[in-house]
Amino acid sequence: MTRIILTRHGQTLWNIEGRVQGSLDSPLTEKGILQARSLALRLKDEGINHIYTSDSLRAINTAEEIRKGIGLKKILSDPALREFSFGDWEGCIWQELRDRNPDIFKIWDSEPHLVTTPGGENMELVTDRAWNYLQQIIQIHQGQTVCLVTHGLTLKLIVTKAMGFGIHEWAKTPWQHNTALNILEVEGDQWIPLVIGDCQHLDGLE
């Protein structure tokens, strides 16, 4: 039985500003750092053997807080865990994009799996790259506990697939807030969810 712990980076400056991040980056806020430390405290007794992270700095810095908190020596980063690339939208304010592109967002709000962002990715591409990487991790670390730090949309797509839903059913899984916690056990092709999208560790920070 392999245990997979999945989480999202802490709050960033662009999260607060309502700006599209994707493959671009912005720093963790003070609150984001505290969120990561709070999650690390919660994970201290989970027996994590390895930490993998997206190579975006906001994810790396979150993973570092977890690493220090649980006493591991290193983290490993890989672009396969990056956020959905929003292409030309990155760096823009979400609401301004909505106002300028009502036709695209009408589809995005109802059937986002049908949208390929201008110069960016779509949900199928993101799911495939992240899921294939996760399968490699499971093969390498069979019987161990592995923590992966990624991003809101990428994380939601991973959890959706792990729960047995298709990409078009992504609304059936909870949104992954900053440092949301997911713990799943993997045995062969069977995924057993233990904790999904939980943020109890943040109660004292609000």
- 149-203 pLDDT, tens digit per residue, is 999 999 999 999 999 999 999 999 999 999 999 999 999 889 999 999 999 999 9
Q: In the chain, where are the structural domains located?
A: 2-205
pTM of the predicted model as reported, rounded to 2 decimal places: 0.96
- Cα separation, 202 vs 189, in Å, equals 32
Angle (CA) 11 127 74, round 5°: 55
- Cα separation, 33 vs 181, in Å, equals 16
Strands 181-187 and 2-8: antiparallel
Question: Which residue in the list 64, 83, 90, 121 is annotated as catalytic?
Answer: 83
Q: Is 83 designated active site?
A: yes
Mean pLDDT of 118-122: 96
What per-residue confidence (pLDDT) applies to 204? 80
Angle (CA) 140 57 96, round 5°: 120
67 annotated as belonging to a binding site for a ligand: no
Fold topology of 2-205: Rossmann fold (3.40.50)
15 annotated as belonging to a binding site for a ligand: yes
Question: Terminus-to-terminus CA distance in the chain, angstroms?
Answer: 35
Q: Is 96 designated active site?
A: no
Confidence of residue 205 (pLDDT cuts 50, 70, 90): confident
What per-residue confidence (pLDDT) applies to 206? 65
- Which one, of 155, 26, 143, lies nearest residue 83 by Cα? 155
| Residue 188 amino acid letter | G
- β-bridge partners, 193: 184
11 annotated as belonging to a binding site for a ligand: yes
DSSP class of residue 144 equals S
Question: Which residue in the list 9, 65, 90, 201 is annotated as catalytic?
Answer: 9
- Cα separation, 114 vs 101, in Å, equals 15
**Helix, strand or coil, per DSSP, at residue 31:** helix
pLDDT tens digits, one per residue of 76-117 = 999 999 999 999 999 999 999 999 999 999 999 999 999 999
2 annotated as belonging to a binding site for a ligand: no
pLDDT tens digits, one per residue of 52-81 = 999 999 999 999 999 999 999 999 999 999
Side-chain half-sphere of 178: how many Cα atoms within 13 Å?
26
Helix, strand, coil content of the chain in percent (nearest 5): 50, 20, 30
- Which one, of 179, 145, 184, 186, lies nearest residue 48 by Cα? 145
What per-residue confidence (pLDDT) applies to 146? 98
Contact 66, 150 (CB under 8 A): no
- Cα separation, 31 vs 134, in Å, equals 29
